[in-house]
Amino acid sequence: MSDTTNNRPDGHDDSTTPAGDAAAPTPSQPEAPRADASNVPPKPTRSPAAAAAAWPPPVAGSAAPQPTAPQPTHGYASAPSGATSPTGQAFGPAASGAHPTLVLPENAAHATPRKKSSVPRIAALVVAAALVGGAAGLGGTYAGLSMWGGSDSSTVAGPTAVTVNDTDDVNETAAVASKVVPSVVTISATGTSSGGTGSGVILSDDGYVLTNTHVVTLDGATGDAKISVTTSDGHVYAATVVGTDPTYDLAVIKLENATNLTPIEWADSSKLNVGDATTAIGAPLGLPNTVTTGIVSALNRSIQVASSAAPKDGSEQDQGTEPGGESPFRFDFGQGQQSQQATQTIKIAVIQTDAAINPGNSGGALVDNEGKLIGINVAIASAGGSSSGAQSGNIGVGFSIPSDIAKRISQEIIDNGSATHGLLGASVQDAASIQGATTTGAYVAEATSGGAAQAAGLTKGDVITAFDGVPVTNSIDLTAQVRALAAGAQAEVTYNRNGQEKTVEVTLGTMQN
């Protein structure tokens, strides 16, 4: 399959196309009171806020991250005309009669609260190094995946704070939630005939918020949505779009007249290990301040989804879906919407997690066990294809844009109104699809004249097997990693030529939006 880095069927990647977690030591237990003690002071209570402030415990040691390979679907909860957001705001013209249906997940992963254990946690990292056999499966196929969105939005109001009834027994998840929930918001976006809810992460105390492009453009249907943001404590703000980055499905919005908000704390996603604890926080199905837990299931996945770029003229249009059988990703805006064929796709590198993620979690936070941001939730995979209007729910396969990528892009948007992306200047295909192939990777079908690949000495027939230290198993992997870097960035490329492995440094060009 050709590398459609520029979303053209011929696969050319040119500049003219728009687009350690280590075991935490267990605190020593207090000495049990003696039977004859007569002046034992009352047991102090512990609020969730105090628990969050005291978290995390000291962490010893570190471990190197380990990669794996690809697959996804977008996720914000959309609603038909006439539905309302959790804040009561109408989505388009009022519907007559019927109310939107609340879609509940059939399985809530990790729903049972975890009790604190006196047994020290053991950080056991099992590394699956064999990417060659199965890595291409997710990046090169679409079976079983469907696009987030399409569920009717609910008017159910959620809690405005983390609820802890037993302050004597606040576990790790409650402490993390108490720290992070104030930094996550619910976003309501409405067009003239459709609307939906998603999530966002607060970047600054004066109201910069990071979310997904598909949340603020209603999956690419409009460039002029009305945006309302509700914080965890119930305050509602109007917001404007600072800039969108459809290439990595990220956007920054700015809340009007906001002060004293609680910014998220960033983590270094390059230091994650498979098996690290994760907590997802957002507004799935329009239910704000929802907390789910899991682990890092895989790192360095690569997924391909339809672009959510807004119409060039800022108008509203029906967002299309790709033909059935070719892609499981769908943009559904409720009943009565006609569809057209999607013509643009994007490739993004993601963290895979089994923390329950559903439509509406899009743009929300994925954090580690210190409450630091490791990813922006963006997509889910479903067990089967989705038909028009069907709802895809959590099956324990969710995807988040790594914080290192999200941090760079969001800062560029705040500074410049847009973000840059690297360009390799090569047309590539899945190496496994080439006759006589002996390895997976990205097969260079053509190196563009004057491009970064040609300047670095790459030629037709080379098979790229790693980019900037990340294994490459197919063309989607390579494109996702190239786009993750800024224009002009330098990266190390490992490739196979005539059975010999070589390494070269490339200076990336600039992708034209």
Give the residue numbers marked as catalytic: 214, 249, 362
Say how far apart CA 225 and CA 283 lie, in whole Å. 19
Q: Residue 250: what residue type? A: L
| Angle in degrees, CA 10, 11, 14, rounded to 5 | 110
DSSP string over 52-91: HHHPSPP---------------B--EEE-TT-B-TT--B-
- Going by C-alpha positions, the residue among 436, 450, 322, 454 that lies closest to residue 388 is 322
Q: Are strands 277-282 and 290-306 parallel, antiparallel or unpaired?
A: antiparallel
Q: Residue 234: what residue type? A: G
Q: Residue 60: what residue type? A: A
CA terminus-to-terminus distance, the chain? 23
**CA-to-CA separations, 410 to 4, 212, 213, 253, in angstroms, rounded:** 25, 11, 12, 10
Burial class (CB in 10 A: 0-12, 13-18, 19+), 204: middle
Say how far apart CA 291 and CA 379 lie, in whole Å. 17
Say how far apart CA 310 and CA 321 lie, in whole Å. 15
Half-sphere CA count of 64, side-chain side, radius 13 A: 5
Alpha helices in 197-332 (DSSP H): 213-216
Alpha-carbon torsion (247, 365, 217, 76), positive or negative: positive
Alpha-carbon torsion (461, 348, 133, 468), positive or negative: positive
